[in-house]
Amino acid sequence: MHHRTRVTRVGQDADAAWAVTEDGRTYRGEVVIGADGHRSTVRAAIAPDNPDAAFAGYLIWLGVADESALTPGHRYPHNFDILHGGEDVLLGYPLASHRGSIRPGSRRMGWAWYDASRNDLLRQKGSVRGTVVQHSLRAADIPKATFKELTAEAADLWPAPWREAILDSLERRDILGTPIAEYVPERLVNGRLALVGDAAHAPTPMTGSGFAASMEDADAVAEALASGLRHGTPLPRALAAYERMRLPQVRSMVQSGQQFSRSFASQLV
């Protein structure tokens, strides 16, 4: 296992597949499985005509507040809250404390604020170029004026108790702005190369399915390869069986999320 090793390209021939790292080293194997996220390098070798996930037209502001720092007595839910405020959507969710406690009063309160009104800011900061998401907005990237706007909007849009959690995060300048990218795959496999997870399919988080689908990919590709090895099936054929199993399901998952994205992003057009 090699940490902090960036792969710059992958390739294959009839007998092997390989990955080349930025320092020029080449790693060879029987297959290469790309689990390298929505900006996948491996994807470009598998689907060169459709290599990039596309900006969905909105970002999500993310933050976490310690419940112990908020006003006592607020009743936060034990599961998700989904709220609508104006044209925006908020997901609120309790998290275990840093020590693992889920006792009310000791938890952390996570929130995700869907916002389609600041695409100009994303482009100004280079977070989105053309239709491709480049990076998230860190707190240091966010103008003071935007923090001020978000504070006023949070006070107006969101009810207690989530309003206080958001205002706490904003006051501490401890938020992240993540542009959402979506990718509907046309293929998951090319010969000895295969994709899993967000490299294979990038849905909006609103589907709530990305993590589970990634785990299902990993299980399916492992089973396909194991079956191929047991039965002497050439590994490219084994990977093709993985693609046949997973491709219809993951395409449907991403496309269902795109219905939300189109509706949400179009509100401000």
Q: Give mean pLDDT, residues 168-185.
A: 98
Give pLDDT, residue 102: 83
Cβ pair 87, 267 in contact under 8 A: yes
Residue 234 in domain: yes
| β-bridge partners, 90 | 83, 113
pLDDT tier at 61, thresholds 50, 70, 90:
very high
Q: Give mean pLDDT, residues 30-38.
A: 97
Structure tokens at 262: 């189109």
Backbone angles phi, psi at 59, to 5 degrees: -125, 170
d(CA 89, CA 257): 15
| Residue 161: CATH number of its domain | 3.30.9.60
The pLDDT tens digits for 6-24 are 999 999 999 999 999 999 9
- Same domain? For 78 and 151 the reply is yes
- Same domain? For 88 and 101 the reply is yes
- Same domain? For 148 and 209 the reply is no
C-alpha distances in Å from residue 138, one per residue of 118, 141, 180? 15, 5, 15
Residue 141 in domain: yes
67 pLDDT higher than 90: no
Q: Give mean pLDDT, residues 70-88.
A: 84
pLDDT tier at 197, thresholds 50, 70, 90:
very high
| 126 Rama sector, left if φ>0, alpha if ψ -120 to 50, beta otherwise | left
112 pLDDT higher than 70: yes
Minimal CA–CA distance to 82: which of 57, 115, 105, 112?
112
Structure tokens at 225: 């390869």
30: helix, strand or coil: coil
20: helix, strand or coil: strand
| Residue 261: CATH number of its domain | 3.50.50.60
Structure tokens at 14: 């009839």
Give pLDDT, residue 267: 66
Give pLDDT, residue 193: 99
Q: Give mean pLDDT, residues 143-152.
A: 98
- Same domain? For 64 and 170 the reply is yes
141 pLDDT higher than 90: yes
Minimal CA–CA distance to 38: which of 102, 166, 134, 148?
134
- Same domain? For 252 and 148 the reply is no
Residue 63 in domain: yes
In residues, how long is the chain?
269
Residue 27 in domain: no
Q: What is the mean pLDDT of the chain?
A: 94
Residue 12 in domain: no
- Same domain? For 99 and 208 the reply is no
Give pLDDT, residue 268: 52
pLDDT tier at 69, thresholds 50, 70, 90:
confident
Give pLDDT, residue 65: 94
Query: Where is average pLDDT lowest: 103-112, 167-176, 221-230, 247-256?
Result: 103-112
pLDDT tier at 3, thresholds 50, 70, 90:
confident
Q: What is the DSSP letter of 203?
A: -
From the centroid of its chain, how far is CA 193? 22
Give pLDDT, residue 7: 96
Residue 228 in domain: yes
- Same domain? For 121 and 157 the reply is yes
- Same domain? For 87 and 156 the reply is yes
269 pLDDT higher than 60: no
Q: What is the count of structural domains for the chain?
A: 2
Q: Which domain holds residue 43?
A: 34-53+184-268
Residues in Cβ contact with 186 at an 8 Å cutoff, skipping those fewer than 6 apart: 47, 49, 50
- Same domain? For 71 and 170 the reply is yes
Query: To 10 degrees, the CA torsion angle through 242, 246, 248, 251?
Result: -130
d(CA 218, CA 106): 35
Query: Where is average pLDDT lowest: 8-22, 61-75, 228-242?
Result: 61-75
